[in-house]
Amino acid sequence: ESKIVKRNTPNYLAKQLLKYEIVSFDIFDTLILKPFSDPSHLFLILAEKHNTPNFMAVRIEAEKEARKLAEISKGNQEVTIYEIYDIVEYKTGINRDYGVKVEMETELEFCFPNPYMKEIYQMVLAQNKKIIGISDTYLTKKQVSEILDKNGFFGFEDIYVSSENNCSKKDKNLYKLIL
């Protein structure tokens, strides 16, 4: 027997958030959604764009390798998309900057706003609350901002990404940095 769980209305949740001076939103899978059951499925589309059938496997492996190198050199596994594409370029010959450009164009093409959260976001923003964004991602702050802007999320006080801060939500150090 399945139980139906009723979600709070956007208005109710926004009112709860207005109690706080600063409101933080996670970005991916909260404000921004993708039409994939697994985020790596984006790489299948990139495989076609690069005419490289094994691109998905190469891209996944390149990220793993970049994270291992980061662990050795920085003591954590936070990497940028550029570090990943340094390895993709070495393995495939796809120019790093071109590869990053195509991946970002594809992200922009497929990312879309979560309508429920967008309504909440707009209500909180309309009340002049300070809003920050936070994400564990290999994308840069500038790239994340571009995705947010394209999807109608304007007015962030700041955006914190693990790739540029060398710490993550997972290890709780990104939260400490924000505090």
Give the pLDDT confidence of 65-98 residue by residue, as tens digits.
999 999 999 999 999 999 999 999 999 999 999 9
**Which pLDDT score, from 0 to 100, does residue 7 have?**
84
Is it the case that residue 142 has pLDDT exceeding 90?
A: yes
Among 27, 24, 4, 15, smallest CA distance to 141 is for 27
Report the alpha-carbon distance of residue 130 to residue 36 in Å, rounded. Answer: 31
DSSP-assigned letter for residue 131:
E
- State pTM to two decimals: 0.93
Beta pairing partners, 160: 134
Scan for tokens 């499925």, then name that residue.
Answer: 41
Contact 89, 101 (CB under 8 A): no
Contact 151, 44 (CB under 8 A): no
Give the pLDDT confidence of 76-85 residue by residue, as tens digits.
999 999 999 9
> What mean pLDDT is reported for the chain?
96
**Which pLDDT score, from 0 to 100, does residue 53 have?**
96
99 token code pair: 């590869």
Give the pLDDT confidence of 44-62 residue by residue, as tens digits.
999 999 999 999 999 999 9
